[in-house]
């Protein structure tokens, strides 16, 4: 019987046709010991089910026809776009093909997978199913298998975040035959879950908003932010290429940026961060992936690069990889290999190895795939590493999950940070490391961000990031009230001191100068309700150390010599950001150097 499924999100409707998933490899036949014995169990009809995923409830609808599961529609969910798309597609297709919900989770999307399976079971119970039936047969393995275990391309890119996608596109556009290996079930990496903001001096937005900026000022801020141990020549590459790269993103990749919005992240002396549509990295990743698909870049998902292959002259000529079907594949590269596998924020042991203080007491904002694989692979062949001990925490994250809070970016629009005692303790526009350390030394290592309508109206953070707001509210980590007193009461903060602090701050706004911390940027009153208070704490966010590269994104060995055939770009590289990366500098770095790597490997 031919079956189809529909996947509907709130914003877009995708109709996914049976068979699309088999494109990148031969799908193993689904083997279920007891065959489709569920057929007689389910009663015909349409049934809804709910399951709890990563961001909230997943609601879907299952249609049973002639006793079989004939279609599955996702009606609503709050999972991360792109990441969950891959999991939903794979699992739904697997269920339709096998007629079983005894099915594997998808790599890198454990909670979304679990959520959709729960929702399916919930719906199927209404159709007459039960836990005994759901457990029947062998667990369905969703792995795609490769037919050819020895494959040759011009260029191999390892990792499908912002750097890898940009590199693959440029190499392909220059005429190379390109394969991109991604160990997760979807592309995106940390770039996907970022706010997507990138610093660029000289944009139309700066002209429109009257912001005076220059390449040199951008360089100066970045060097100060990194305590001047940054590799200056690499910082200059980013600063000089930021504007042309933005033009490329807009003209070629069709990325949409907010036309009238700039953010001034901590440590920057002017507002210079462009913000993509929806203020999410999804806008960048979605458009880059589409462009890569259009050009004909070959994507191999759930395929993990394990080792670099070298010839007798120490030139890198390929990559040994494994996939989720347990196969070992040799990818040969005619022209070169580009490592774009991201940082090591999600690798606790590696973090502790290089900086014992960054241990289990920290949660992380990073996606599960950022385990430093590229760094280890390069180290194994004698490549040089730099600044490995510099690991950054992001100051304002969810205290229960470690996930970065974008609602809390209301800080850049004028919100203030207070402690449990109701007192301000740091300049809110200071560097991430400074604010993080300041928060960790407060009671419970936590802090409260407070703002009212004057700040909310600048960036509408609670609306732009509504899904995240709902999660914080459900966890009782954010509270909205008509009066400031109610905010203090809600989190048991010393009310008198809290009110005094806000009153004092409003006085600074009146005089245009923050007498206590000399806050940068424009000061905003906190006087007009409704008001917001949000509990936040730091989590591991970015690893500044990594592979040593030159201005052409070529990897260097310990003597400073080029390792032939090898390039690296993005968070996997080190030295660009010094001790501390400034907000909005990662995306600029990954796209600029990703493109350079893709261009140079073909030259």
> What is the rounded CA–CA span in Å between residue 303 and residue 323?
4
Beta bridge partners of 284: none
**Is the Cβ of residue 422 or residue 583 nearer to ligand ADP in the bound state?**
583
Catalytic residue of the set 432, 554, 581, 595: 432
**Is the Cβ of residue 59 or residue 169 nearer to ligand ADP in the bound state?**
169
**Is the Cβ of residue 97 or residue 571 nearer to ligand ADP in the bound state?**
571
Min dist. Cβ of residue 583 to ligand ADP (A): 14
**Is the Cβ of residue 68 or residue 379 nearer to ligand ADP in the bound state?**
379
- Please check whether residue 46 is in contact with residue 52, taking contact to mean a CB–CB distance below 8 angstroms: no
Q: What angle do CA 565, 567, 568 make, to 5 degrees?
A: 155
List of residues contacting ligand ADP (CB under 6 A):
158-164, 181-184, 188-191, 304-305, 340-342, 369-370, 373, 570-572, 590
> What is the rounded CA–CA span in Å between residue 494 and residue 274?
38
- Please check whether residue 99 is in contact with residue 69, taking contact to mean a CB–CB distance below 8 angstroms: yes
Min dist. Cβ of residue 69 to ligand ADP (A): 31
> What is the rounded CA–CA span in Å between residue 118 and residue 416?
41
Cα radius of gyration (the chain): 25
Give the position of tokens 């304002």.
396
Q: Are strands 298-300 and 178-181 parallel, antiparallel or unpaired?
A: parallel
Q: What angle do CA 593, 347, 377 make, to 5 degrees?
A: 55
> What is the rounded CA–CA span in Å between residue 5 and residue 15?
7
Min dist. Cβ of residue 316 to ligand ADP (A): 15
Q: How far is CA 109 from the centre of its chain?
A: 13
DSSP string, 294-363: HHT-EEETTEEEEEEEE-TTS-EEEEEEEETTS-EEEEEEEEEEEE-----TT-HHHHHHH-TTSSTT--
Min dist. Cβ of residue 498 to ligand ADP (A): 39
Min dist. Cβ of residue 370 to ligand ADP (A): 5
Min dist. Cβ of residue 159 to ligand ADP (A): 3
- Is residue 254 helix, strand or coil? coil
Beta bridge partners of 322: 304, 328
236 catalytic residue (yes or no): no
320-323 LR contacts (CB < 8 Å, sep 24+): 321/181, 323/25, 323/143, 323/144, 323/145, 323/146
**Is the Cβ of residue 134 or residue 354 nearer to ligand ADP in the bound state?**
354
**Could you count the other beta carbons within 10 Å of the beta carbon of residue 113?**
26
Min dist. Cβ of residue 276 to ligand ADP (A): 15
**Is the Cβ of residue 415 or residue 587 nearer to ligand ADP in the bound state?**
587
Beta bridge partners of 6: 15, 73
Annotated catalytic residues are 432
């Amino acid at each position: 019987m031919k079956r189809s499924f529909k996947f509907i999100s709130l914003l877009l409707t995708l109709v996914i046709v049976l068979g699309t998933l088999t494109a990148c490899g031969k799908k193993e036949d689904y083997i279920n010991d007891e065959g489709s014995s569920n057929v007689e169990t389910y009663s015909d009809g349409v049934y809804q089910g709910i399951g709890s995923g990563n961001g909230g409830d997943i609601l879907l609808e299952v249609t049973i026809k002639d006793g079989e599961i004939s279609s599955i529609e996702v009606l609503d969910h709050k999972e991360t776009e792109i990441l969950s798309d891959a999991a939903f597609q794979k699992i739904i297709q697997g269920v339709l093909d096998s007629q079983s919900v005894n099915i594997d989770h998808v790599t890198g999307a454990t909670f979304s997978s679990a959520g959709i399976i729960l929702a399916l079971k919930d719906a199927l119970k209404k159709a007459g199913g039960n836990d005994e039936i759901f457990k029947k047969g062998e667990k369905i393995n969703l792995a795609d298998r490769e037919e050819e275990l020895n494959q040759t391309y011009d260029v191999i890119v390892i990792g499908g975040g912002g750097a890898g996608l940009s590199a693959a596109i440029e190499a392909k556009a220059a005429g190379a035959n390109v394969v991109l290996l991604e160990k997760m079930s979807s592309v995106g990496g940390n770039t996907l879950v970022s706010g997507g903001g990138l610093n660029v001096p000289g944009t139309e937005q700066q002209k429109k908003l009257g912001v005076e900026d220059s390449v040199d000022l951008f360089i100066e801020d970045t060097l100060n932010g990194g305590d001047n141990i940054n590799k200056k020549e690499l910082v200059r590459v980013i600063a000089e290429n930021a504007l042309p790269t933005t033009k490329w993103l807009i003209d070629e990749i069709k990325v949409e940026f907010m036309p009238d919005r700039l953010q001034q992240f901590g440590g920057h002396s002017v507002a210079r961060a462009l913000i993509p549509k929806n203020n999410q990295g999804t806008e960048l990743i979605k458009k880059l992936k589409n462009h890569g698909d259009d050009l004909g870049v070959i994507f191999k998902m759930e395929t993990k690069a394990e080792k670099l292959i070298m010839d007798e002259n120490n030139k890198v000529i390929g990559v040994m990889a494994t996939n989720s079907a347990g196969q070992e594949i040799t990818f040969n590269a005619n022209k070169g290999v580009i490592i774009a596998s991201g940082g090591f924020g999600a690798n606790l042991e590696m973090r502790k190895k290089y900086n014992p203080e960054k241990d289990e007491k920290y949660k992380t904002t990073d996606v599960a795939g950022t385990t430093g694989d590229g760094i280890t692979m390069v180290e194994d062949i004698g490549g040089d590493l730099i600044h490995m001990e510099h690991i950054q925490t992001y100051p304002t994250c969810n205290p229960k999950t470690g996930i970065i809070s974008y609602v809390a970016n209301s800080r850049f629009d004028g919100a203030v940070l207070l402690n449990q005692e109701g007192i301000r303790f740091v300049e809110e526009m200071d560097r991430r490391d400074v604010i993080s350390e300041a928060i960790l030394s407060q009671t419970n290592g936590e802090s409260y961000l407070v703002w009212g309508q004057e700040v909310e109206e600048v960036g509408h953070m609670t609306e732009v990031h509504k899904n995240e707001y709902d999660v914080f509210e459900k966890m009782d980590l954010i509270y909205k009230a008509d009066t400031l007193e109610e905010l203090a009461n809600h989190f048991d903060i010393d009310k008198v001191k809290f009110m005094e602090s806000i009153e004092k701050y409003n006085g600074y706004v009146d005089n245009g100068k923050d007498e206590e911390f000399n806050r940068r940027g424009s000061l905003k009153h906190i006087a007009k309700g409704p008001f917001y208070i949000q509990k936040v704490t730091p989590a591991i966010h970015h690893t500044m150390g990594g592979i040593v590269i030159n201005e052409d994104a070529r990897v260097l060995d310990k003597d400073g010599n080029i390792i032939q055939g090898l390039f690296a770009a993005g968070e996997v590289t080190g030295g660009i950001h010094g001790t501390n990366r400034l907000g909005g500098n990662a995306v600029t770095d990954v796209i600029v150097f990703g493109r350079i790597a893709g261009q140079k490997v073909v030259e």
